[in-house]
Amino acid sequence: MKKQRGSAPVQIVWIIAGALVAVAAVLHIASDMRGSSAVDFTTPYQAVLLTNGSVYFGHLQGYGQHNPVLTDVYYIVSQTNPDTKQVNNVLVKRGKELHEPDRMYLNPNQLLFVEPVGPNSKVAQLISQASNH
């Protein structure tokens, strides 16, 4: 049998590539086993945009983990005056629905993004007014 030139360097490259893939797999599995840490927000409320376009405002806990939960939940409903055609946005607190939910368990795969609600923003002011009533 005739030995091919260059086959030893090719084998070494494949061995190194295989070892790198194995190391990467081990590191990936180890990071999954540690679990992900939750993000702590510095503002009382967060705006949560879901992939279906819905936006909710509330206290988000467990963001970055497998089961984030949104409590003290609000959303905006647009109402159009039929006479003037003027659109009025109203902040509504979840919990007034027939099933009276007190929290939302979110699928992390459906979260498009999360943003802090500024303490001086219009949304924060409306939430403050709603919670005082």
Three-class SS state of 119: coil
44 contacts: CB under 8 Å, gap ≥ 6: 59, 117, 119, 124
Choosing among 1.10.3720.10, 3.40.50.300, 3.30.420.40, 2.30.30.100, the CATH entry for 46-132 is 2.30.30.100
pLDDT tens for the 133 residues of the chain, in order? 555 566 777 888 888 888 888 888 888 777 665 655 678 889 999 999 999 999 999 999 999 888 999 999 999 998 999 999 999 888 999 988 888 899 999 999 999 999 999 999 999 999 998 888 7
Half-sphere exposure of 104 (CA within 13 A, CB side): 24
78 contacts: CB under 8 Å, gap ≥ 6: 87, 88, 89, 90
Whole-model pTM: value is 0.68
